[in-house]
Amino acid sequence: MSGRMRAPAGSRACAGERGYVLMDYFAGALIFFSAFGGFMALAGAKANSLREAEARLRAVQAAESYLARLRAGEIGPGRYALPGVQPLVVEVELAPLGERSSLRRATVQARWREGGQRERSVRLETVLR
């Protein structure tokens, strides 16, 4: 008996069979990597939406804080910069509601920019006495 392996009796081993096995491997790898790529794209989108939600929450909290400080008389109208990982610019405006009214419209707008994206903002308005 020689050291070479032979195909079992009744089977037809041809050189072309190797090509089919290789094609099956490539088809399986294509399906796997397509699914993996789709999963990674969804994970990246989820991370971006979480980052944007955190930035929006921080801006709303800053705007509410400045509105409370304006109501308490601690600050006046103006532009304030909040340093941090994601810098915010808070603009506070105070305008009369009417000519003969003692009420005033207070507007607080917090702006930020994420990475190279466009500027985003949150705006809160209320009426003060």
Cα separation, 121 vs 28, whole angstroms: 47
Report pLDDT digits (tens) over 13-45.
555 555 577 788 888 899 998 998 888 888 877
What is the model's pTM? 0.61
Q: In the chain, what are the domain boundaries?
A: 17-128
Which pLDDT score, from 0 to 100, does residue 108 have? 94
| Residue/partner pairs of 92-100 with CB below 8 Å, 24 or more apart | 92/66, 94/70, 94/128, 97/127
Print burial letters for 31-66: b (CB count within 10 Å at least 16), e (below 16): eeeeeeeeeeeeeeeeeeeeeeeebeebbeebbeeb
Flag residues of the chain having pLDDT under 50.
none
Per-residue tokens: 112: 């930020």
